[in-house]
């Protein structure tokens, strides 16, 4: 659920910063840029924590 909300917020903020830039107020545009960076950071952190690391599964080796 957290991944989907981060992904949806990332896509919506990229739309507000990119193709819909002319229709978006300036205060919302700066907020969308911050939201894009934060949601991208969350997605990368979630991918890193969920990745398969062979050393993590077998700490004795």
Q: Picking from 21-25, 30-34, 54-58, which range would have the lowest pLDDT averaged per residue?
A: 54-58
For the cut 70, the answer to whether the pLDDT of residue 20 exceeds it is: yes
Q: Which residues contact 36 (CB under 8 A, 6 or more apart)?
A: 10, 13, 14, 17
Q: Could you tell me the sign of the dihedral formed by the alpha carbons of 46, 51, 55, 59, in that order?
A: positive
**What is the pLDDT confidence band of residue 56, given thresholds at 50, 70 and 90?**
low
When computed from its CA atoms, the radius of gyration of the chain, rounded to whole angstroms, is: 16
- Domain-by-domain residue ranges, the chain? 2-46
7-21, 28-42, 47-61, range with the lowest pLDDT: 47-61
Q: Would you say 9 and 33 are in contact if contact means Cβ atoms under 8 Å apart?
A: no
Query: For 22-26, 32-36, 52-56, which range has the lowest pLDDT when averaged over its residues?
Result: 52-56
**Interval 31-51: pLDDT, tens:** 888 888 888 888 888 888 876
């Amino acid at each position: 659920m957290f991944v989907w909300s981060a992904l949806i917020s990332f896509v919506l903020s990229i739309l507000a910063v990119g193709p819909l830039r002319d229709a978006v107020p300036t205060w919302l545009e700066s907020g969308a840029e911050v939201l894009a960076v934060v949601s991208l950071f969350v997605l990368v952190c979630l991918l890193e924590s969920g990745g398969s690391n062979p050393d993590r599964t077998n700490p004795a080796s």
